[in-house]
Structure formats: structure tokens, C-alpha cells
């Protein structure tokens, strides 16, 4: 059932019932119209209340239907709202929990609205790359005023209902039981005629042209590659400048255009990708979890400190263990400074500052962390060092504690085998800066307990991360793919590019930072260390030696004041380096390579398709459960442009056949072996299919 119809005295109650959030899919829309017909045909019914069952009034149009004919099938949301607005009997929306998007638009079509406090009210369509397409841009500014209406539509951010209590959006705030209040209200207005309609409200804003122009300028400057925010402004402008019906028509046209854009498809993909990532087929939602009431982190370096902050931010006490008092004090000092900076920016109150700093303590003794529910090791990336730490943890930690490693490349199964409790061991790979970056790669070892995995997924939500599960392999999902990207970046230098040219091309594509600026930020010595291991373990894999030559020059990046670029003291700006460019040109000459001019298109394709091909292997091997998981890793941890939806989604939009064709072209060049399409990619391309 998608909506229930009941009569309560003289009031018909239509209750949307389409879990999880009463999305207004076709069946629900039909059920609302059926309910309205029944109510209008029943002489005993004098008024109607519309509400939602469960945890929402309504979360809006059913986004899953967007690409199907059902989205346009009658009754559309427009039809539903017209039926309600034109009803000869008063219709009251009883709003609680969530009224978003089409859900709020439906409520705006009602003659009256009664709300419970604490409900989240929003027109969040812009976050999906679209705009409210069922009258929201025309009606919300009529009840909230031009400025507030526009702000809510352009930002998409939810506002608690009580903050809107004094606006024309709500006729009444329910103090006690919402349904009781809504029924009483409906009885009270049962005989009121004519019925008030939001469409009839006039927007009174004397200098609206000046305000709209200001909004256009501001929004244009802030919306980057996304077209929706500016279209939102245009639609709201129509609410002031056009007659209501023309405004609705204009809004509809903009909506239809935006739904088709790749940017919107990418945002919808990310919306569902984020939710899908937390689902593991053999770990159902009701899998028992372990309580995490306290945590410990081994290592007070940048990573350890950042990880600890996540726990403190979530209200979980955390102890950091270090070997030496000096290192411990330094680490705790950095954390304090970080919080102080946040407080100075006004993003943390002094009370919260004290509370968070107070939740993080330090120790030099393993015995003092023994009772923690979870311990995360963030020590040097060396299997010998990890062995020592995990053997010690196995010795001291209480039974049932989760033993996690923040390793970014090492074998979690091997690490688990250092203990007598491999079921309690898991990889929790945070990304630097760990208190900021959204991604948490959750590495499931062969023997990781299902309850441990379920707990890690739950924990990722608690600490506001996007948790993505990865199987065990060298580098897991993210770093295994980035290695192929970095290899191509290195080859491009040998063949004719400068670091600046590569960075600029990929940043123009939309990456937050190109590979060389990124290397300078993260520290080029980290990759050097990993490559040295690879030269022994996988001698068959070829790398450009430019990065090694750079490290031999001591140019580890920003931390040494020089890397791929030059830096000035106290300035993070990257300046192209003559010394480095000379080194690169000499290296090409030493290899006998005639340097050539390389187009931005080739740079982008080689970097991105290298990711895609490795992603296809990862998917095929089951290291990632789904293509969208890979996309979430790249969107939340590697600065892949959101408007392109992640590497796998991007490849889908390019067309896998086109991807393979480009790869065949590059296979004829140097290191052509890197361009052999992964079997899954080749198969999907041949079948005309996509990853997602």
C-alpha cells in the first residue's frame, strides 16, 4: 500500500505509506489522487488531512523513478498538487520529521499546513543537480518571502520547522500530538471559503531586480560547473516577474532540461552510491554490532592525531599511545592547535572546544589502552613495525576489542595473522587530513568477523565518514588505482610534459589537485618508499624513474620546501621549477626519448582511463562490491570531480567502447602493456553495456 485512506469524523485522512521516506513515486501519486476523489465524493467528509506514515511526511519525488517513464506518467506530481489545490474541501498537510522536495511542494499545494517541531524542511533538489519542479520555486518564495525562499532553494539546506513557525508556510505548530492538532485544525477550517491558495499570495519586494541581480552574480561565482543553482535563481525570478501559471511552465522547462544533464545524473549517482556503499550482501542490517564507547589510537603523528579527532568530534573518548613523551606532547599540541583554529573561525564554541580537547588524552603505556573498545594503529607503513604493534595489542587488549590498522597498502590478512584473534582485525584506512576527508576505506580481511565489519560501517556513519568496503589487495581500492594513474603521470613527463602541464590539464578536467601538486603536499618520499618495495616484489612492473630522481635530490615536497615545484617559505603556492624541468628533460634524453607536444586530452585520458582499467580489475576480482563503491572512493578521497560522478561513472558517460578505443591507441605507444583492457571492461564494451 502506498497511501492509506481513513475517515475520522468529518475529516478524511490520507496517509502516505511508501517506506522508507514516502517518496512520491507513481503508485503513491495515484493513491493520493484516489484518496482525494473519495474525500470529494463523500458528503460526510468536510475536510482532508494529508500526512506521512513512519519516519517522514515525504522525502520528495522518487529519485529512483527519474530515468523511467513512470516519472512522467499521470498523475504527475503537478496533477496531484492541482487536484489538492483545486479541491472544494480544505486540505491540511500534517508535517513531521521530513518534508523535502516534492513532499514540501505537495504541502505547499495544500490550503493549510500544521507542523510538528523538529521537522526538516527543505527543497534540496539543487543537491541533485535539478530544481524543484513541482511548483516549489513559485510557491516557497510566496510564503517565506523572496530572500529566504531563494536561499533555501539555492542552498538546498534543511531548516527546522520551528525556525519557520512565524512564516506563512505554517498555519500552526502542533504543541502536542500532530494528528490531533491537524484534525482539530481541519474541523476548525472546514467551512472557510474561499480556500486560501499559496499561488494567490503576492511577493512584495520593492527592489527585486537589484536583489535578483546580486543573487545571480553571487550564485554564478559559487556554483562552479553545476548549472542548477543559477537556474534556481532564474526560476525564483519568474515567481516575481511572471504570472503564476507562466512561472510554473518556466520552472517545468528548466527542470526537464536539468534532469537530462550529466551533472545531475552524476549527483544522483553519488546520492545512491553513498547509500549503497553501506550495504554488504552477506552482512544484513540486523547483524549484531559491538558497542564503541571508547577508542585508542597508536601513533600521535599527523594521521593518528586526525583519527583521534574523529572520535572526539563524535563524543567518544580516545587515548593516543606514543613511544616517547616528546612525540606525544607534540601530537597533542597539534590537535589542540587544530581545534583552536576551528574555534577562531567561529566553527566551534569554547564549550565544545573544551569538551573535544578533554576527550583526547595521551599515554605511553599499552596497559592504559587495554580496555578500549577499538584501537586503530597509525604507525609507520612497514610490515615489521605492524607485526610488533599487533602482537602487543593481541597481548594487552581486552577480549572483544576491535583491532584496526590504518595501513594504506599492506596485507590485512598478514596483519591479522600476527594475532590469535584475526576475526577482530580489520583495516580502517583514513585519508589525510583524517579529521577532514570524508572517505574511510574499510578493509575486510579473510577472517574479519561480520559483527566487526557491521560495527565499522556503523562507526563510519557515527564519525560522519563515507565508509566503503574493500577486499584485501595491495593498495586496496583507492591506492591500487592511483598507482596506475601515477605511473601514467610519470610516463607523460618522460615523453614531453612538465609537471605543471599535467596538473593543469587534470585540474581543468575538475580534479581538486593534479598528481604532482598532490605529491608535493603528501610527501614524495612516501611513494618512493612504496616503489622501492615494489621494485623487489614486482620487478615486472615498470615505473618512470623521474620521481626517484626527484627524491634523490631531496625534494620530498612542501615539507622540505621543494618538490616537483619550488616553494617560498610560509607560502604553499607551487612555482614551476627550472631545476626539476631540466632534470626531466635530461632524463628523457638519457632514455633516448624524443620529447613531443602532448595534448590536454591525451593527458586526461591517460590518467583517467588508467584509473578506469584498474577499477575494472578491482571490480572483477571482487575487491570492490560494485562500481559505485569505486566511484565513492574517488569522489570522497581522491578529489575526483563530483560533477563527473567518479571514474567508473565517467567511463560510462564517455561510452566503454570509446574508452577501449582510446586505450588501443595508447597501447601502440611506450609502455603499451599498461593499456590491455581488463577482461570485464573489454566484455562490457563489446556488449555495449556500462559499469553502473
Shortest distance in whole angstroms from residue 250 CB to ligand 3H9:
14
Told to check if 129 binds ligand 3H9 by CB under 6 A, we report: no
How many C-beta neighbours within 10 Å does residue 166 have? 9
Q: Which is nearer to ligand 3H9, 128 or 492 (CB)?
A: 128
CA–CA separation, 474 and 489 (whole Å) = 20
C-beta of 252: minimal distance to ligand 3H9 in Å? 8
Catalytic annotation present for 125? yes
Nearer to ligand 3H9, 133 or 515 (CB): 133
Using the rule CB under 6 A, is 125 a contact of ligand 3H9? yes
The residue behind cell 570492490 is 624
CA atoms of 341 and 332, how far apart (whole Å): 14
Burial of residue 316 (CB within 10 Å: 0-12, 13-18, 19+) is buried
- Residue span binding ligand 3H9 (CB under 6 A) among the ranges 55-63, 220-228, 339-347, 404-412: 55-63
CB of 636 to ligand 3H9, least distance (A): 16
Distance CA 463, CA 611 (A): 28
Contact region for ligand 3H9 (CB under 6 A) — 62-70, 237-245, 605-613, 666-674? 62-70
**3-state class (DSSP) for residue 600:** helix
141 binds ligand 3H9 (CB under 6 A): no
Tell which residue, 179, 210, 164, 393, has the closest CA to residue 297: 393
Q: Which of 37, 64, 163, 665 touches ligand 3H9 (CB under 6 A)?
A: 64
DSSP state, residue 399: T
**Is 105 labeled as catalytic in the residue annotation?**
yes
Nearer to ligand 3H9, 107 or 660 (CB): 107
SS3 447: coil
CA distance 142 to 160: 19
**Which residues between 256 and 275 bind ligand 3H9 (CB under 6 A)?**
272, 275
Which residue's C-alpha cell is 575487491? Answer: 623
Could you tell me which stretch among 121-129, 338-346, 475-483, 671-679 binds ligand 3H9 (CB under 6 A)? 121-129
Site size toward ligand 3H9, by CB under 6 A: 25
Question: Which residue is listed with cell 518556466?
Answer: 250
DSSP label of 408 = S
Q: Residue 419 gets which letter from DSSP?
A: S
**Cβ closer to ligand 3H9: 484 or 628?**
628
48 binds ligand 3H9 (CB under 6 A): no
**Contact call for residue 114 and ligand 3H9 (CB under 6 A):** no
Angle between helices 515-522 and 476-495 in degrees, nearest 10: 120
The total of other beta-carbon atoms located within 10 Å of residue 444's CB is: 22
- Under rule CB under 6 A, residue 631 binds ligand 3H9: no
Least distance from C-beta 517 to ligand 3H9, angstroms?
Answer: 34
Query: Which letter does DSSP use for residue 55 in this model?
Result: T
Q: Which stretch binds ligand 3H9 (CB under 6 A): 18-26, 189-197, 352-360, 472-480?
A: 18-26
Nearer to ligand 3H9, 397 or 469 (CB): 469
Residue by residue, DSSP assigns 119-176 as -EEE-GGGGGTS--TTTHHHHHHHHH-HHHHHHHHHH---EEGGGGTTSTT-SEE-SS
Give the nearer residue to ligand 3H9 in terms of CB position, either 412 or 454. Answer: 454
In this structure, the dihedral spanned by the alpha carbons of residues 404, 405, 406 and 410, taken in order and rounded to 10 degrees, is -150
CB atoms within 10 A of CB 241: 15
Any contact of residue 105 with ligand 3H9 (CB under 6 A)?
yes
Q: Which among 128-136, 352-360, 380-388, 616-624 is the span making contact with ligand 3H9, rule CB under 6 A?
A: 128-136
Count of H-run helices and E-run strands, the chain: 27, 19
**Binding segment (CB under 6 A) for ligand 3H9, from list 60-68, 347-355, 477-485, 672-680:** 60-68
What is the DSSP code (8-state) at residue 404? Answer: E
Note whether 81 binds ligand 3H9 by CB under 6 A: no
For residue 405, what is the enclosing H or E element? strand 402-405
For ligand 3H9, the closer CB: 3 or 128: 128
Marked catalytic residue, from 85, 125, 251, 263: 125
- Does 20 contact ligand 3H9 by CB under 6 A? yes
Q: HEC states along 527-581? A: HHHHHHHHHHHCCCCCCCCHHHHHHHCCCCEHHHCECCEECCCCCCCCEECHHHH
What gap in Å lies between CA 58 and CA 49, rounded to an integer?
14
570 binds ligand 3H9 (CB under 6 A): no
Q: Does 652 bind ligand 3H9 (CB under 6 A)?
A: no
Interface with ligand 3H9 (CB under 6 A), residue from 36, 39, 45, 60: 60
233 grid coordinates: 535563481
Query: Does the protein bind ligand 3H9 through residue 236 (CB under 6 A)?
Result: no
Among 105, 234, 251, 495, the one annotated catalytic: 105
Contact with ligand 3H9 (CB under 6 A) among 132, 515, 557, 563: 132
Q: What are phi and psi of 593, to 5 degrees?
A: -95, 130
Of 174, 158, 34, 30, the residue nearest 92 (C-alpha): 174
Is 422 a binder of ligand 3H9 (CB under 6 A)? no
Between CA 374 and CA 404 the distance in angstroms is 7
Residue 24 or 562 with smaller CB distance to ligand 3H9 = 24
Cβ proximity to ligand 3H9: between 28 and 470 the closer is 28
The nearest distance, CB 58 to ligand 3H9, in angstroms, is 8
Binding flag, residue 63, ligand 3H9 (CB under 6 A): yes
Could you say whether residue 61 binds ligand 3H9 (CB under 6 A)? yes
Q: Which is nearer to ligand 3H9, 463 or 562 (by Cβ)?
A: 463
Among 133, 306, 422, 445, binds ligand 3H9 (CB under 6 A): 133
Which of 56, 173 has the CB closer to ligand 3H9? 56
Distance CA 30, CA 345 (A): 50
Identified binder of ligand 3H9 from the candidate list 90, 109, 136, 427, rule CB under 6 A:
136
Dihedrals phi, psi of 620, to nearest 5 degrees: -65, -40
> Taking CB under 6 A as the rule, does residue 247 contact ligand 3H9?
no
470-529 positions binding ligand 3H9, by CB under 6 A: none
Exposed e or buried b per residue across 182-207, where buried means at least 16 C-beta atoms within 10 angstroms of its C-beta: bbebbbebeeeeebebbbeeebeeee
Among 13, 62, 309, 484, binds ligand 3H9 (CB under 6 A): 62
Residues near ligand 3H9, by CB under 6 A = 20-21, 23, 56, 59-64, 77, 98, 100-102, 105, 124-125, 128, 132-134, 136, 272, 275
Active-site residues: which are they?
A: 105, 125
Amino acid at each position: 500500500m502506498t497511501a492509506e485512506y481513513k475517515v475520522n469524523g468529518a475529516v478524511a485522512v490520507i496517509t502516505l505509506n511508501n517506506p522508507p521516506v514516502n517518496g512520491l513515486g507513481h503508485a503513491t501519486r495515484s493513491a493520493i489522487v484516489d484518496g482525494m476523489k473519495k474525500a470529494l465524493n463523500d458528503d460526510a467528509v468536510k475536510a482532508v488531512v494529508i500526512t506521512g506514515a513512519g519516519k517522514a511526511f515525504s522525502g520528495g519525488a522518487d529519485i529512483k523513478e527519474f530515468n523511467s517513464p513512470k516519472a512522467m506518467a499521470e498523475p504527475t506530481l503537478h496533477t496531484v498538487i492541482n487536484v489538492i489545490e483545486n479541491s472544494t474541501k480544505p486540505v491540511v498537510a500534517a508535517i513531521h520529521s521530513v518534508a523535502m522536495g516534492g513532499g514540501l511542494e505537495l504541502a505547499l499545494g495544500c490550503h493549510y499546513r500544521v507542523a510538528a517541531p523538529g521537522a526538516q524542511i527543505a527543497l534540496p533538489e539543487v543537491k541533485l543537480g535539478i530544481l524543484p519542479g513541482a511548483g516549489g520555486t513559485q510557491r516557497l518564495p510566496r510564503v517565506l518571502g523572496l530572500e529566504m525562499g531563494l536561499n533555501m532553494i539555492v542552498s538546498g539546506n534543511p531548516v527546522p520547522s520551528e525556525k519557520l513557525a512565524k512564516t506563512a508556510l505554517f498555519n500552526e505548530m502542533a504543541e502536542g500530538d500532530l494528528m490531533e492538532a491537524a484534525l482539530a485544525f481541519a474541523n476548525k477550517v472546514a467551512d472557510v471559503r474561499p480556500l486560501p491558495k499559496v499561488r494567490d499570495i503576492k511577493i512584495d519586494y520593492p527592489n527585486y531586480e537589484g536583489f535578483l541581480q546580486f543573487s545571480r552574480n553571487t550564485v554564478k561565482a559559487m556554483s562552479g560547473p553545476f548549472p542548477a543553482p543559477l537556474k534556481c535563481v532564474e526560476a525564483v525570478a519568474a515567481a516575481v516577474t511572471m504570472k503564476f501559471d507562466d512561472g510554473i511552465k518556466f520552472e517545468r522547462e528548466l527542470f526537464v532540461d536539468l534532469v537530462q544533464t550529466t551533472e545531475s545524473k552524476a549527483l544522483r549517482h553519488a546520492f545512491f552510491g553513498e547509500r549503497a556503499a553501506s550495504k554488504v550482501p552477506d552482512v544484513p542490517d540486523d547483524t549484531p554490532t559491538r558497542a564503541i564507547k571508547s577508542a585508542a589510537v597508536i601513533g600521535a603523528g599527523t594521521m593518528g592525531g586526525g583519527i583521534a579527532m574523529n572520535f572526539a568530534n563524535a563524543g567518544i573518548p580516545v587515548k593516543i599511545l606514543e613511544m616517547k613523551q616528546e612525540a606525544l606532547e607534540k601530537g597533542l599540541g597539534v590537535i589542540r592547535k587544530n581545534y583552536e583554529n576551528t574555534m577562531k573561525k567561529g566553527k566551534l564554541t569554547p564549550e565544545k572546544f573544551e569538551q573535544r580537547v578533554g576527550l583526547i588524552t595521551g599515554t605511553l603505556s599499552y596497559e592504559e589502552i587495554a580496555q578500549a573498545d577499538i584501537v586503530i594503529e597509525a604507525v609507520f607503513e612497514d610490515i615489521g613495525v605492524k607485526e610488533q604493534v599487533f602482537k602487543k595489542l593481541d597481548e594487552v587488549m581486552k577480549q572483544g576489542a576491535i583491532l584496526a590498522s590504518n595501513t594504506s597498502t599492506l596485507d590485512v590478512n598478514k596483519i591479522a595473522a600476527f594475532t590469535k584473534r584475526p576475526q577482530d582485525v580489520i583495516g580502517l584506512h583514513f585519508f589525510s587530513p583524517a579529521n577532514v576527508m570524508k572517505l574511510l576505506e574499510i578493509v575486510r580481511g579473510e577472517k574479519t568477523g561480520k559483527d566487526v565489519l557491521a560495527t565499522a560501517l556503523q562507526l563510519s556513519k557515527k564519525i560522519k565518514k563515507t565508509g566503503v568496503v574493500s577486499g584485501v589487495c595491495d593498495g586496496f581500492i583507492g591506492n591500487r588505482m592511483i598507482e596506475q594513474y601515477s605511473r601514467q603521470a610519470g610516463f607523460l613527463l618522460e615523453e614531453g610534459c612538465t609537471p605543471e602541464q599535467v596538473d593543469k590539464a587534470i585540474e581543468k578536467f575538475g580534479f581538486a589537485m593534479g598528481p604532482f601538486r598532490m605529491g608535493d603536499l603528501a610527501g614524495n618520499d612516501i611513494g618512493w618508499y612504496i616503489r622501492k618495495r615494489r621494485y623487489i616484489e614486482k620487478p615486472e612492473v615498470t615505473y618512470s624513474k623521474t620521481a626517484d630522481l626527484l627524491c634523490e635530490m631531496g625534494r620530498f615536497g612542501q615539507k622540505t620546501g621543494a618538490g616537483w615545484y619550488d616553494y617560498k617559505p610560509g607560502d604553499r603556492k607551487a612555482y614551476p621549477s627550472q631545476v626539476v624541468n631540466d632534470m626531466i628533460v635530461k632524463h628523457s634524453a638519457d632514455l633516448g626519448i624524443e620529447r613531443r607536444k602532448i595534448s590536454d586530452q591525451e593527458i586526461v585520458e591517460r590518467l583517467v582511463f588508467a584509473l578506469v582499467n584498474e577499477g575494472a580489475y578491482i571490480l572483477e576480482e571482487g575487491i570492490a562490491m560494485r562500481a559505485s563503491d569505486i566511484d565513492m572512493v574517488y569522489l570522497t578521497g581522491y578529489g575526483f570531480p563530483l560533477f563527473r560522478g567518479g571514474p567508473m561513472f565517467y567511463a560510462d558517460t564517455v561510452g566503454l567502447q570509446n574508452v577501449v578505443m582510446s586505450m588501443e591507441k595508447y597501447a601502440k605507444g611506450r609502455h603499451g602493456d599498461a593499456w590491455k583492457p581488463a577482461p570485464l571492461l573489454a566484455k562490457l564494451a563489446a556488449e555495449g553495456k556500462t559499469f553502473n
